[in-house]
């Protein structure tokens, strides 16, 4: 009878150990699963950060190109405006020369 009790007691101890062992295994699995989830979230967050940085970088590049393009447009307009001013001055100078010639011609030719 004592032997039966000892056997039952041993079985209970073994069963308790098995339960505890299973709980430890389950807890370890849960910890590992949680770590994997956290790691996956960190990876996704890092990817999102990198994607956001790439988007911002692309926007900055495009904005920089737009600024350069705008500057080129403004520079071209300024060049064209300067050319127009110079052309207008040349036209006015040419007209003045023609007017002066006409005045000199009129003075040189006696009127009858």
Tell me: the pLDDT tens digits for 29-46?
999 999 999 999 999 999
Instruction: Please report which helix (H) or strand (E) contains residue 110, including its range.
Output: none
Place of tokens 């770590």: 35
Q: How far apart are alpha carbons 61 and 66 in whole angstroms? A: 8
Residues of the chain with pLDDT under 70: 109-112
Global confidence as pTM = 0.42
Q: How far apart are alpha carbons 37 and 5 in whole angstroms? A: 47
């Amino acid at each position: 009878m004592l032997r039966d009790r000892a056997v039952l007691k041993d079985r209970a101890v073994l069963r308790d150990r098995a339960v505890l062992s299973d709980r430890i295994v389950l807890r370890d699995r849960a910890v590992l699963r949680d770590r994997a989830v956290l790691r996956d979230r960190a990876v996704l967050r890092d990817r999102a950060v990198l994607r956001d940085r790439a988007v911002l970088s692309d926007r900055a590049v495009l904005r920089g190109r737009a600024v350069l393009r705008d500057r080129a447009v403004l520079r071209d307009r300024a060049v064209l405006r300067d050319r127009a001013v110079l052309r207008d001055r040349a036209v006015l100078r040419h007209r003045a020369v023609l007017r002066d010639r006409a005045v000199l011609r009129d003075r040189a030719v006696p009127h009858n």
